[in-house]
Structure 1
Amino acid sequence: MTTPESPNRNGSAKVRVRTADDIPACVQALKDVYAVDGYPVEGVSQAEKWLFPDGLLEAWVAEVNGEVVGHAAASEPRDEAAVRMPVEKDGTPLDHIAVAARLFVALKGRGNALGRDLAVAVFGYGQQHGRRIVFDVMTKDQTAIRLYERMGCIRLGTTVHEFGDNQQVPAYCYVAP
């Protein structure tokens, strides 16, 4: 498991806990990701605010050669499909759930397994705190879907991600292994 301050197999790349000093670099990386991948679908006009989801529990950054190139977070559950599904299916209490969120890696960080390492950091947080990690992924984001499924995440079902002025994007809901 990748832990805070631990390098991945590329010694110049690592994942660590996010600090306040990382926010400007995270905003820039997010804008770069949006330009290439259209993530997040909400856009990046309020990028800094987006990096702080309601109920933020912890956040991590990925860096290569000291430059922040990726991000992930865990947050408290809210009323969202990925949370409702395990609650309804097997009665998982809300305080035993956390939501993986805001995971992205900019182009200059790709190819270093940092998406996987960021996901491992979030999943590890869940294990350490006795929480099942759930999340959704837009169906358009096939690279992320392949990563999560290779990691053993289980698809719980489908939902519609709503944003902006009545805009909708189909999404899959997952639970981490």
Structure 2
Amino acid sequence: MSEMHRNTAGQTTTIRPRTEADLPGAAAALVAVHAVDGYPVEGVDAPLEWLSPAGVLQAWVAEKGGEIVGHAMLSRPQGEDAVKMWLEQSGDTADQVAVCARLFIAPEARGQRLGEQLMRTAFDYSRAHGLRVVLDVMTKDKAAIRLYERMGMHRIGTARHAYGEGQEIDAVCYVFPTPEA
């Protein structure tokens, strides 16, 4: 299922399921995002692999003018701090949880609510499949934190995200309130 959105310049952006053919464009957008924001803190040296981790349930892209300008993904839990926190707090099981990850918007496509559109698409998928969405976000990523809180996600705790060779960064963990339709 694809959604089409027209921005104020009259250009159409499509939110649609990611295909294998989208990976190089998504990787290029990711590298551009990293250059501007430092996101992600890991994976930018091998973006195709980082965009295709184990356990992917579904991924989506935002496409404008034939270019991939955004990405979001839901995956099965892989030991994330947000998952551990939610399972301890809720009594849910891991098979009831999806992790939202790999959300980014290319710098030239920001300000069009594409991150929100991608997140709503992921939330719709989670509701349709009875899954609770959790995620973590580095505290340095202020725009992402504003987006998640504006969309009604609830903070469930904080964690230290380990990456690279002994590096750590603070993260905030969130849950989307309900998987029900």
Query: Which residue of 2 is the match for residue 64 of structure 1?
Result: 64
1:148 aligns with 2:148: yes
Gaps of 5+ in 1: none
| 1:65 to partner: Cα distance | 2.4
Deviations 1:34-88 (Å, cap 9, x if unpaired)? 0000000015111100001221111100112232101111100122210011211
Query: Which residue of 2 is the match for residue 138 of structure 1?
Result: 138
Distance verdict in 2 for CA 1:43–1:57, change over 3 Å: closer
Query: Which residue of 1 is the match for residue 127 of structure 2?
Result: 127
Query: Which residue of 2 is the match for residue 8 of structure 1?
Result: 5
Cα distance in structure 1, aligned partners of 2:32 and 2:55: 26
Deviations 1:98-144 (Å, cap 9, x if unpaired)? 00010000012112110101111111111111000000000000000
Q: How does 1:14-29 map to 2 (within 5 A)?
A: 14-29=14-29
Query: Which residue of 2 is the match for residue 49 of structure 1?
Result: 49
Cα distance in structure 1, aligned partners of 2:47 and 2:121: 22
Aligned letter for 1:127?
A: R
- Identical pairs, percent: 51
Cα distance in structure 2, aligned partners of 1:56 and 1:43: 16
Cα distance in structure 2, aligned partners of 1:94 and 1:133: 11
1:32 aligns with 2:38: no
Cα distance in structure 1, aligned partners of 2:155 and 2:53: 23
Query: Which residue of 1 is the match for residue 106 of structure 2?
Result: 106
| Residues paired across the two proteins, number | 174
Higher relative contact order structure (alpha carbons within 8 Å, sequence separation ≥ 6): 1
Runs of 4+ in 1 over 4 A off after TM superposition: none
SS at match of 1:21: helix
TM-score (norm. length: structure 2): 0.92
Gaps of 5+ in 2: none
Asked if the contact 1:14–1:114 (Cα under 8 Å) also holds between the matched residues in 2, the reply is: no
SS at match of 1:7: strand
Question: How big is the alpha-carbon RMSD for the aligned residues of Structure 1 and Structure 2?
Answer: 1.2
Query: Which residue of 2 is the match for residue 173 of structure 1?
Result: 173
Cα distance in structure 2, aligned partners of 1:53 and 1:70: 17
